[in-house]
Amino acid sequence: MVRSLVLFAASSLFTVALACPGGTCSEDCKKASTTAAASTTDIKTAPGTHATFTLTGMSCGSCSEKAKAAFLGVQGVNAVTVDHSTGKAEVAFDSAKTNVDALVKAVATNTKYGISADKK
Ligand SMILES: [Cu+2]
């Protein structure tokens, strides 16, 4: 009995963590998290030019995965990290293949989140 209560509490917490606060995320947001190619490359050691971005409108882990997928869809991107709680994203890319403007455009076009490149 105690054991099942603990399991229930744990699964409830898990559900809360995955849900989108305020209900701003649609179901396709959650689906995107399973299709997003996970980049295993560590952003700090990833080769290429590094740029940081500020995103708005993200409210859960699925949101950050969706934004990440949009970045990874750009040819020349080596690694991406997106934090939905801070709205910060860092991308490592090959400057011969793409640039900051193209990355901003990819996210603006393929997601519903706001994005702006951070000034250095
Ligand atoms: Cu979300």
Structural domains in the chain, sorted by start: 2-117 (3.30.70.100)
- Asked whether 39 and 69 are in contact (CB, 8 A), the reply is no
Which contiguous run of DSSP H or E holds residue 49? strand 49-56
Give the tens place of pLDDT for each residue, 12-21.
444 444 445 4
Q: Tell me, in angstroms, the distance from the centre of ligand 1 to residue 45's CA.
A: 28
Segment 96-113 shows an average pLDDT of 97
Q: Provide the whole-model pTM.
A: 0.71
Kindly report the CA angle at 63 between 77 and 58, in degrees rounded to 5? 105
Phi/psi of residue 79, nearest 5 degrees:
-160, 150
Q: What H or E segment, with its residue span, contains residue 82?
A: strand 77-83
30 CA to middle of ligand 1, Å? Answer: 7
Ligand 1 mean position, distance from CA 96 (Å): 32
- Residues 27-83 pLDDT 10s: 666 555 544 444 456 899 999 999 999 999 999 999 999 999 999 999 999 999 999
